[in-house]
Amino acid sequence: MHAQALLAREINAFAIIRTKYYAAVVSVTSDRVVSAWREISACHAATCAALEHELGERHGLGVSDFEVLARLAEADEHKYRAQDLASAVHLSQSALSRLVDRLARGGLVERFTCDMDRRGIFVQLTAAGRVRYDEAAPTHREVLARTVPADMVGDEGDQG
């Protein structure tokens, strides 16, 4: 999360309130593009802080943990090539490797080599991982609905 411009206490304070209050945190300039970027950045920081808190408290997952489980749950055969998964969840391959190790120790994913190319590594969701994802998904959706501004979501936001 890139939120150096915001104090941690501001992020935590605003992560749990409705998005109409973001304007109080974001410093507005006469440059509309810069102001828009600051608003997006503040929304991202507050949403990530809220997700970290809620997913951690309720399900023992971090945001990146949940994103990996979500991508695997959505994928064909519930598996992904590791390098593609790293790209999909915006992590370096080494960061993803550490995260997958942790999830594998918890029985949520399995790692295996590709039959065609022994250098290729796949990550697959386990049954326990699917259960944890299914339990955490409503919390994830609830936090997003609460923190992402309605004008960013559009008409499709209430589906899911």
pTM over 0.75: yes
Residue 159 lies in a domain: no
Separation CA 136–CA 27 (nearest Å): 34
What is the domain extent for residue 119?
63-136
Helix 63-74 to helix 93-105 angle (10° resolution) is 80
Q: How confident is the model at residue 120 (pLDDT cuts 50, 70, 90)?
A: confident
Residue 3 lies in a domain: no
Q: How many domains does the chain have?
A: 2
Are residues 131 and 72 part of one domain?
yes
pLDDT tens-digit profile of 2-11?
A: 343 344 434 4
pLDDT tens-digit profile of 42-96?
A: 889 999 999 999 999 999 999 999 999 999 999 999 999 999 999 999 999 999 9
User: Given this model, what pLDDT does residue 31 score?
Assistant: 85
Residue 112's closest CA among 82, 87, 142, 67?
82
Is the Cα torsion angle 14, 20, 25, 26 positive or negative in sign? positive
